[in-house]
Amino acid sequence: MINKPTIDEYNTYFSKYVDLVPEGDIFETLQQQNNETINLLKNLSETQGLYKYAPNKWSIKEVIGHLSDTERILSFTLLCIARGEAMSLHIYDKDAYIKNADFNRQSVKELLEDFSVVRQSTLQFIKTLTSEDLERKGTALGSEVTARALVFILAGHELHHFKILKEAYIGAEDFPL
């Protein structure tokens, strides 16, 4: 079992993600939340996938793409730190990634399949990590962070967006039916 990280294992900015992760088996949480996100979105029409709850917000398709991109980046960062990388890993510009990816041209189904595959890859990698791997610290996301904290940041990031998808998007009064 992977214990929740302590506040000294990550920048306090990421508390907004780590604090969302429930107590219990993080591996089960990651699997369950992926299933919940896919179940929430799998029956959306392409029109619904293009919905934005405000003009300056991402579409649902862009949010799904962002989840996949961020999972890839955090998983890569997790790999680097777990393996003892000494170099500082950069912070990415999420808005540039959204702009350049053009997620709106992909189907909801394709985006969800990609997200599921990325999560399965992340889960498979996490299974291989030892306690020593998880305790390693590196510099990423603008500060020192442990590999263990990255696992929880990753889970909390999806929980954060799941809540937004459920409430601000699908729960919006003007959401297309």
Average pLDDT over residues 21-43: 95
Whether residue 177 is contained in a domain is answered as no
Q: What is the percent of the chain where pLDDT is above 90?
A: 91
pLDDT band at residue 72, thresholds of 50, 70 and 90? very high
Domain count, the chain: 1
* pLDDT tens readout for residues 144-167: 999 999 999 999 999 999 999 999
Residue 60 backbone phi and psi in degrees, to 5? -60, -40
Tell me whether residue 133 is in a domain: yes
Task: With respect to residue 175, please indicate whether it lies within any of the assigned structural domains.
Answer: no
CA-based nearest residue to 119, from 64, 174, 41, 42: 64
Q: What is the CATH number of the domain that holds 48?
A: 1.20.120.450
Average pLDDT over residues 39-66: 97
**Which residues span the domain enclosing 138?**
7-169
| Mean pLDDT, rounded, for 112-117 | 97
**Does residue 43 lie within any of the structural domains?**
yes
CA-based end-to-end distance of the chain: 42
- pTM score, two decimals? 0.94
